[in-house]
Structure 1
Amino acid sequence: MKLYGLIGYPLSHSFSKGFFAEKFKKEGILDCAYENFPLADIAEFPKLLEQQPTLCGLNVTIPYKEAVLPWVDELSPAAEQIGAVNCIHFHDGKRTGFNTDVTGFKRSLQPLLKPHHTHALILGTGGAAKAVMFVLEALSIPFTVVSRKAQPGVVTYESLDKEVIAAHTIIINTSPLGMYPQTDTAPALPYNAITKHHLLYDLIYNPEKTLFLQQGEAQGAAIKNGHEMLVLQAEASWEIWNEKQ
């Protein structure tokens, strides 16, 4: 039996276990199992490896995408540049870290892009924002990063006027604003400046339509939530785990 799993904390509402259970059942995969491994501290990771010697692969979620780096032997180019890992492949005694958030986001975003989608606003500066930056750079889409606090290379929400919104026809929310249960919150944007030429993408998938997306849709913008990205990053992990078996 090949064992895969998810580390993070807490994992009570994790997507991955249900996704892989359904995948294994639907595809008749009988020799694989996927389990949640909640770790209250990343220092528990070596103990988990001792307890589960048959592990073939792990997904990594909040808050350990960066903290797990000392325990991997190699990094993919994307994971190295971003400085975050959400997928680990165990093979030939080595642990290799990947970032399949990049794959999921890129595969989800590309079909939505139109010729007028030339510049992007990235809302937030966390690990997810770094994955989004990596993809936009790969697609040669210039971007501006927005945060509540002023810092080098980053603008504040207060500086976002109608001209800035008009010039950035892709707006990507990587912050937790609007996530369940705080569904009545949204990034502070001049939403009345959004038009039918805009694409609003929210990495949040619960609720299905955040206040950020609702307000963009009301202005005629194209909208997309993070569910497909989540599915695609999980499928990318599965591809990685099986490509060298």
Structure 2
Amino acid sequence: MKLYGLIGYPLSHSFSKGFFAEKFKQEGITGCAYENFPLASISEFPALLAQHKANLHGLNVTIPYKEAVLPWVDELSPAAAQIKAVNCIRFEKDKRKGFNTDVIGFKRSLLPLIKPHHTHALVLGTGGAAKAIMFVLEELSIPFTVVSRSGQAGAIGYEALDAAVIEAHTIIINTSPVGMYPNTNAAPALPYDAITKHHLLYDLVYNPAETLFLQKGAAKGAAVKNGHEMLVLQAEASWEIWNDL
């Protein structure tokens, strides 16, 4: 039995296990299992590796261990090395290789939405997901400005977002958890009146399916997209990586 799984904590709302159970069923994939491995501390990781040494073929990694898992990975993909975060590990005969499928999922999801007038982006948030989004924007040669509540180096604060800034940045990507269930009445503090039909609003949040951020954008005629497809594409990318497809 080839074993795959997810490490993180907590894992009560994991997308991956249900996705792979359905994938195995629909595609007639046999001899494979996907399990959740909630680790209260990353220090429990070596014991997990030892316990499943014979049949562990791949792992997904979620919050809070995308960076903490790096010491247990022997080699990194270029994206994972630059972002310094891993959310997919492939087990090879003599080594473990780390990948970042946030990059793959976001890029595959974003590309069909890009129009000629989508020339500059605002990235809301500075966490691990934001780093993956910035990597993709750099790959696509789309200049971007980072927005941070804490006003950290290399970012502007939300108070700097006026109509002129919004008009100049026709892609707005929310990488923060603002608006995620159960706090569905929250939205990033933007001057939404400046959003037009030329804007694309992308929210990495997928629960609810239409956050207040996306609702406000859609009301102004903007194109909107939530994070569900990105999640599906990430999972498919993991399967491709584990099976060298």
Aligned residue for 2:7, secondary structure, equals: strand
What is the aligned partner in structure 2 of residue 234 from structure 1?
235
Correspondence 1:125 to 2:126: yes
What is the aligned partner in structure 2 of residue 21 from structure 1?
21
Superposed displacement of residue 175, structure 1: 0.1
What is the aligned partner in structure 1 of residue 76 from structure 2?
75
Superposed displacement of residue 52, structure 1: 1.1
1:145-167 Cα distance to aligned partner (Å, 9 max, x none) = 00011222100000000000000
Alignment of 1:1-245 (within 5 A): 1-53=1-53, 54-243=55-244
State the distance in 1 between where 2:48 and 2:183 align: 33
State the distance in 2 between where 1:160 and 1:243 align: 44
Aligned residue for 1:243, secondary structure, equals: coil
State the distance in 1 between where 2:194 and 2:150 align: 22
State the distance in 2 between where 1:46 and 1:67 align: 13
Aligned residue for 1:46, secondary structure, equals: helix
1:43-99 Cα distance to aligned partner (Å, 9 max, x none) = 100010011111000000001001100110000000000010000000112100000
Structure 2: which amino acid aligns with 1:35? E
Structure 2: which amino acid aligns with 1:2? K
State the distance in 2 between where 1:8 and 1:150 align: 29
Structure 2: which amino acid aligns with 1:43? S
State the distance in 2 between where 1:72 and 1:199 align: 36
1:10-44 Cα distance to aligned partner (Å, 9 max, x none) = 00000000000000000000110000000000110
> Structure 1 unaligned runs (5+)?
none
Aligned residue for 2:233, secondary structure, equals: helix
> Structure 2 unaligned runs (5+)?
none
State the distance in 2 between where 1:150 and 1:236 align: 34
Matched length: 244
Superposed displacement of residue 105, structure 1: 0.1
State the distance in 1 between where 2:152 and 2:79 align: 24
Structure 2: which amino acid aligns with 1:29? I
Superposed displacement of residue 3, structure 1: 0.2
Aligned residue for 2:243, secondary structure, equals: helix
State the distance in 2 between where 1:151 and 1:212 align: 23
TM-score (norm 1): 0.99
Structure 2: which amino acid aligns with 1:148? R
State the distance in 1 between where 2:70 and 2:193 align: 42
Structure 1 residue runs of 4 or more that deviate by more than 4 Å after TM superposition: none
1:131-180 Cα distance to aligned partner (Å, 9 max, x none) = 00000000000000000112221000000000000000000000000011
